[in-house]
Every structure is written in structure tokens, then in C-alpha cells.
């Protein structure tokens, strides 16, 4: 007796179709699993057997063989438990095989027969969103965000059998609980809480309007982290396609929300994070890293000078291509990683560089500290802004600055202007588009030539300054396709602060 059940497994941030084939035949009682299952997947033999017996169903005293097709990639995790159990029940005629047609199953089984949530339900459903998917009750929200067909929730294996036997009806998706792994979205911090800091606030607005990468350099307590955490509040909601990608990535990593993600994510990994934690990977089970979890939103690296240089350099591929590749012997995984990078660092180990009689760092320690940020990585920051400690009067005045809602309105208008006229944000403009939309007048050309001849601006930096100047023009409501010397000078002033000769 043979039964075939459709399911899926997750590799990286994508789902892969898995056909669970179950054969129950003569021979000594045993359970064999084929098709490159990892250790956690092989443990299904014990979970499934206990769940079937706990649900009041019978387990065959025969030879059970399960094949997870195709055998071209490793299957990991416990998400195939429900499909295996359904296959065994169909092969032993405890379920009608016809009832499995057009349906797919995903979920982990508890020893008591309960169906538990698993990571990656959204990319699993995305393999074939036209099927009717049966998923754990806690995963209905993320599955419904992806599926074009019906999504059925089930709380236990016994309930599933009752429904298939016609003695019960499916629970409606709206009635299914969505709690469990996902936490409620935290309220967004308001920019009005920031006192003073006019230059840093402007840089934050420019970064939000143009999608530019931003680096804050300043002493401890100056407000770098406070500013960075307010960037998501200035960004608009994600479009449907990006929201779907973010939902897939977060679901694969097990940190997703109960439904479609609509707000830009904010990720802030610790400076002790490894390359694998940042990029993603794993020996058997490839999972998204922090840069993929920040897709569509903000990746904030606090205390960048404390990160290992090799870890920071892994960001360069994602910053250039918007994707990250993880290679293994048996497979190659590509995951989305288009984010805004915001960094914060002290100018020296003690953080007081430039303050006579206060900074305790010698020249060698300053140089070693700054050398952790490679030149190629620094060159990819469109904005590099010094953040000084706010004035005492600003802190004690009690006057709130502009709110995030007010700044976000200007950001939305500037973004709309860029999208409508150029089809993309200014940070993505290439050389040809810059020649069309950020033409330089004589004064702007002279400024940039002088910077390049002095060796303070690379070819990449030249393009990035023009992009920032174009964003400044959009925020000012300028309809001209050219940028003047004043705009270029303003863009340069928000980029040159991390010149090593200045901060050391």
C-alpha cells in the first residue's frame, strides 16, 4: 500500500516542494526514511508513531518506508511530521487517499497528537500557493498572506481525521489563534524625542528620502543610537511584493509576524555576531542571517569599531547587489538582502578624540581602532555625519522637535517624486541616470573635481555625492534635472567627517 502526500521544506529563505511517499508492506516492523533527511527530520519516526497512537489510531505492525522526494537537497526540521503521519494513515486505509488530492500539509507533531507551529510556513506555502494548505493553527496568518487558495488550520491529528471522515468541519482561518512565536510589533520611536542635533536630524531625513546608507560618528552619549532607532518611523510602509519577501524571510528564520509584514524591519545585531549570524548559513540547515532579516528595512550596526573586520566586509556583496549568497558543497542559496545600513561608531576607543586633556588614546590605538573599518566599506556610506553631544540648553528646555510624522510626510513626497520621475530611489541611480537627473553645473563640477584631485573622493564617492545632492533637491521641491554647487557642497559636508586625517 502506497500513499503520496504533498509538503515542502525550507532552504535559505525559499521553500522546496517535497513529495512524501509512504509504503507500508510486509516484513518485520520497522520505520525507514529516505531522501536526505537530517537528524531532526529523522526523529519524525518516533514523533509520528507516538502522535498516531495518542490520537486513538492504529500503527501498522509492518515495514514502513518513507521517501522524501526529490533526494537532491537535504530536508531539515520537523515541518514534514504532519505529511508523514497523513501518508501513513492513508497507506493503512485509515484515511481516504482521494481526500489528499489538491492538498498539502505542513506542521510538527507533538507526542500527544497536537499539531505545532514550525518555522518557514510562508515559504513552504509559497512553493505552490494554489494548493489547499493544512497548517498549524498558529501559522494560519503567515500562510494566508502567501496562499492564493484555501488555508485550513488544524490543532491535532485527531481533529484532522475527524474532518476527513466527515464527522467535523474545518475551523475557519479567522477563528484560529495567531499567537505563539510572533511578538506584537513594538511602537515606533518618535523623532520628537531628540533634542537639538539639527545636522544629524537632517542626515536622517536625507537617508530616509533617498535610501542612503548612513554612518554616525561621535562620542558616547551623543545620541547616535537614539537617532538610528528613529529611522524606521520615517520610512513608508512596504509595497506588497517587498512585504511578501520580508514575510518569507522572517518566517524561514522563525521570527515572523502573524501575517503579512507591512512595516520596514529594524535589525540591530550585537558587535560579537559572527559572519554566519550576519550573512546566514548553517552546516545542515541554511537559514537567513541578520542582513536578510533586515531586507526592506534598516540594519543598524552599533559600535561598528568593535565588530571584527572580516565580519564587516561580508556586508559588501549585499550592499552592492541587494542579495547574499551562501555556498555549501551540495547546494548554493541566494537570499534577498536589500537594506539601509546605519552604523554608529566612536572616533577612537575612549570616544573622546579631539578633546584636549580628555582623550586617553595614543596614536597607535586610534589608528588600530579606525582600521577595523575598511576603506571600501566606508566608501559605501553615502552620509558620514559627526554627532556631538547636545547643548545643555537643548536638553533642559523641554521643547520637542519635529515629530516623525511631520518628517515622514516630507520623506514620502521626496520618495514619490523620485519614483514617479526616475522609477527608483536616488540611492539606486546608476551613472546614466545620474547624467540625466543629477547634471552638474559649473560650480558643482569645480567642487567635485577639487575633492577628487586632493584624493578625498573616489569614483564611487563621486557618484554617491551626486545621489545625495539629488535627494536634497527632491526634499527642497526642486524640479530641475540639474544640481547646483550649493547642493553638492551640502552633500560633501555630510560625507567628509570620517576622513581619518580629521578624526585621528
Does the domain spanning 2-175 belong to CATH 3.40.50.10070? no
Q: What is the pLDDT of residues 153-210, one digit of tens each?
A: 999 999 999 999 888 888 765 444 333 333 344 567 889 888 888 899 999 999 999 9
For the cut 90, the answer to whether the pLDDT of residue 77 exceeds it is no
DSSP string, 80-101: THHHHHHHHHHHTTSS-GGGGT
Asked if residue 501 has pLDDT above 50, the reply is no
Cβ proximity of 372 and 305 under 8 Å: yes
C-alpha–C-alpha distance, residues 41 and 38, integer Å? 5
Q: What is the pLDDT of residue 330?
A: 65
Q: 218 pLDDT band (50/70/90 cuts)?
A: confident
344-379 pLDDT, tens per residue? 998 888 777 755 567 878 778 877 777 778 888 888
Mean pLDDT of 13-35: 92
Q: What is the DSSP letter of 388?
A: P
Cis peptide before 70 (omega within 30 of 0): yes
- Of 137-141, 286-290, 331-335, 401-405, the poorest mean pLDDT is in 331-335
Contact call for residues 224 and 216 (beta carbons, < 8 A): yes
Q: How many CA atoms lie within 13 A of 372 on its CB side?
A: 20
pLDDT, tens digit, 9 for 90 and up, residues 485-500? 999 999 999 987 655 4
Q: What is the pLDDT of residues 263-322, one digit of tens each?
A: 999 999 999 999 889 998 766 677 899 999 999 999 999 998 889 888 998 898 899 889
Locate the DSSP E strands across 337-491.
340-345, 383-387, 439-440, 482-483
What's the CATH number for 191-503? Answer: 3.40.50.300
Predicted confidence at residue 57, as pLDDT, reads 94
Q: Where are the domains of the chain?
A: 2-175, 191-503
Give the model confidence (pLDDT) of 97-144 as tens digits. 888 889 999 999 999 999 999 989 999 998 888 899 999 988 888 888
Amino acid at each position: 500500500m502506497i500513499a503520496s502526500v504533498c509538503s515542502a521544506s525550507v532552504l535559505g529563505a525559499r521553500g522546496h516542494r517535497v513529495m512524501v511517499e509512504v509504503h507500508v508492506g510486509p516484513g518485520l516492523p520497522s520505520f525507514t526514511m529516505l531522501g536526505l533527511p537530517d537528524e531532526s527530520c529523522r526523529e519524525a519516526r518516533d514523533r509520528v508513531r507516538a502522535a498516531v497512537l495518542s490520537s486513538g489510531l492504529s500503527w501498522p505492525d509492518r515495514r514502513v518506508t518513507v521517501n522524501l522526494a526529490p533526494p537532491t537537497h537535504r530536508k531539515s526540521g520537523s515541518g514534514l511530521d504532519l505529511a508523514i503521519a497523513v501518508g501513513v494513515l492513508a497507506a493503512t486505509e485509515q484515511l481516504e487517499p482521494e481526500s489528499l488530492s489538491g492538498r498539502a500539509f505542513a506542521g510538527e507533531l507533538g507526542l500527544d497528537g497536537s499539531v505545532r507551529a514550525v518555522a518557514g510556513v510562508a515559504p513552504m506555502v509559497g512553493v505552490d500557493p494554489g494548493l489547499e494548505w493544512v497548517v498549524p493553527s498558529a501559522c494560519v496568518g503567515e500562510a494566508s498572506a502567501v496562499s492564493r487558495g484555501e488555508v485550513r488550520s488544524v490543532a491535532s491529528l485527531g481533529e484532522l481525521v475527524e474532518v476527513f471522515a466527515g464527522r467535523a468541519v474545518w475551523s475557519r482561518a479567522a477563528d484560529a489563534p495567531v499567537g505563539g512565536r510572533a511578538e506584537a510589533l513594538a511602537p515606533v520611536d518618535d523623532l520628537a524625542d531628540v533634542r537639538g542635533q539639527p545636522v544629524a536630524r537632517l542626515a536622517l531625513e536625507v537617508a530616509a528620502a533617498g535610501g542612503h546608507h548612513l554612518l554616525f560618528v561621535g562620542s558616547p552619549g551623543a545620541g547616535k543610537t537614539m537617532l538610528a532607532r528613529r529611522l524606521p518611523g520615517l520610512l513608508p510602509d512596504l509595497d506588497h511584493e517587498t512585504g511578501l519577501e520580508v514575510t518569507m524571510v522572517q518566517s524561514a528564520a522563525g521570527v515572523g509576524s502573524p501575517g503579512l509584514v507591512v512595516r520596514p524591519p529594524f535589525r540591530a545585531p550585537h558587535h560579537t555576531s559572527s559572519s554566519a549570524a550576519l550573512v546566514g548559513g548553517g552546516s545542515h540547515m541554511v537559514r537567513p542571517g541578520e542582513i536578510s532579516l533586515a531586507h526592506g528595512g534598516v540594519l543598524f550596526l552599533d559600535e561598528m569599531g568593535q565588530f571584527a573586520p572580516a565580519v564587516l566586509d561580508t556586508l559588501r556583496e549585499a550592499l552592492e547587489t541587494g542579495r547574499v549568497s551562501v555556498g555549501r558543497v551540495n547546494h548554493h542559496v541566494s537570499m534577498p538582502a536589500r537594506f539601509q545600513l546605519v552604523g554608529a561608531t566612536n572616533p577612537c576607543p575612549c570616544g573622546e578624540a579631539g578633546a584636549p586633556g580628555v582623550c586617553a588614546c595614543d596614536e597607535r590605538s586610534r589608528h588600530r581602532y579606525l582600521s577595523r573599518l575598511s576603506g571600501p566599506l566606508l566608501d559605501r556610506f553615502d552620509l558620514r555625519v559627526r554627532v556631538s553631544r547636545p547643548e545643555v540648553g537643548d536638553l533642559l528646555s523641554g521643547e520637542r522637535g519635529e515629530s516623525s510624522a511631520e518628517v515622514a510626510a516630507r520623506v514620502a513626497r521626496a520618495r514619490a517624486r523620485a519614483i514617479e520621475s526616475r522609477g527608483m530611489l536616488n540611492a539606486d541611480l546608476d551613472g546614466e541616470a545620474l547624467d540625466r537627473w543629477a547634471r552638474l553645473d559649473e560650480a558643482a563640477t569645480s567642487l567635485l573635481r577639487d575633492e577628487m584631485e586632493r584624493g578625498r573622493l573616489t569614483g564611487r564617492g563621486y557618484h554617491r555625492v551626486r545621489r545625495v545632492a539629488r535627494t536634497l533637491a527632491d526634499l527642497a521641491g526642486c524640479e530641475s534635472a540639474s544640481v547646483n554647487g550649493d547642493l553638492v557642497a551640502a552633500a560633501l559636508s555630510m560625507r567628509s567627517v570620517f576622513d581619518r586625517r580629521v578624526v585621528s
